[in-house]
Amino acid sequence: MSSGKVLDTEAGQAILRWAAERRVVLVVSLSADGQWTTLRAQLHRFDADQRLAQITFPITTDGSAVPEIAPGKKLGVAFRRGHKKCLFVGQVVMRKAEADAEGQPLDTLLLRVPSNLRELQRRVYRRVTVPFDRFIAVKIWEGGAPAPDEPSWPLCSGRLSNVSVGGLLVEIRADQNPRLTVGDHVGVEITANVGRPPLLVEAQYRHCCLHAADRLGLGLQFIGLEHDLPGRSPIENVAEFVRTLQRETGFVE
């Protein structure tokens, strides 16, 4: 069974109409000045003829300032639909003042929606623990994934402890502690099978936990997966990796 698929135009538009009718909550990601930010918004309206989605102006969950979102900016958008998660990358057309159903002012963005709406099984967002006898190597770089044509050295390396499409926990030796700050941007390389290309993704540091007297666990949240960044693994590859591990470990949702 596939972990996800690209929907045809008609199916994608039907889902967006469904989502607009229900004013679904959106998770929005954008990159500004080399930093990733995750925001919340709500789908207000969808115009299939013009391929325009109108969303409430995104806000942060902690009340901090929202980076500038200018026309032309690309935003990653994700929302839940039953047992699936739908994703697309929309381009900002304009910021527009609107009124809600009660006539109250509403700050919105208009996004140009692509034809290739994607849909993933939500089960791949559930964490699967890697058996201790299965070694999956992980390397972590400071500031994002390394450029292929430039020499670089990882901050630290270790083994994959658990993973989902949302993020991962990496077990490292305590003496390799990179002493990251919450929100730090890192690059992550996951080598599932020797001889095959590794997964290369971007992530944010979230937390650190004690695994044993001399072992630490670094919690990382994947960011920007839906953007299909050059040189980075697409979200479908990450989802298939998680799905394979779930199958191998007898994962039950």
Reply yes or no on whether the pLDDT at 202 is more than 50: yes
pLDDT band at 152 (very low <50, low <70, confident <90, very high): confident
Question: Residue 3's pLDDT is what?
Answer: 56
Give the span between the Cα atoms of 229 and 29, in whole angstroms. Answer: 13
Question: Residue 1's pLDDT is what?
Answer: 44
SS in 3 state form for the chain? CCCEEECCHHHHHHHHHHHHHCCCEEEEEEEECCEEEEEEEEEEEEECCCCEEEEECCECCCCCCCCCCCCCCEEEEEEEECCEEEEEEEEEEEEEEEECCCCCEEEEEEEECCCCCEEEEHHHHCCEECCCCCCCEEEEEECCCCCCCCCCCCCEEEEEEEECCCEEEEEEEHHHCCCCCCCCEEEEEEECCCCCCCEEEEEEEEEEEEEECCEEEEEEEEECHHHCCCCCCCHHHHHHHHHHHHHHHCCCC
Question: Residue 31's pLDDT is what?
Answer: 87
Instruction: Kindly report the average pLDDT of the chain as a whole number.
Output: 90
Alpha-carbon distances, residue 202 vs 75, 119, 155, 223 (angstroms): 16, 21, 14, 6
What average pLDDT does range 161-171 have in this prediction?
A: 96
- Higher pLDDT among residues 163 and 99, named by residue: 163
- From 64-73, 97-106, 227-236, the region with the lowest mean pLDDT: 97-106
Reply yes or no on whether the pLDDT at 208 is more than 80: yes
Close Cβ partners of 18 (under 8 Å, ≥ 6 residues apart)? 81
Reply yes or no on whether the pLDDT at 67 is more than 60: yes
What average pLDDT does range 152-180 have in this prediction?
A: 94
State in words which class domain 4-122 has.
mainly beta
- Higher pLDDT among residues 211 and 89, named by residue: 89
For the chain, what are the domain ranges? 4-122, 126-249
Question: Residue 151's pLDDT is what?
Answer: 75
Give the right CATH number for 126-249 from 3.90.650.10, 2.40.10.220, 2.40.33.10, 1.10.3720.10.
2.40.10.220
* pLDDT 10s digits, 102-146: 778 889 999 999 988 999 998 999 999 998 889 999 999 998 888
* pLDDT 10s digits, 15-53: 999 999 999 999 999 988 778 888 999 999 999 999 999
Q: What percent of the chain has pLDDT over 70?
A: 97
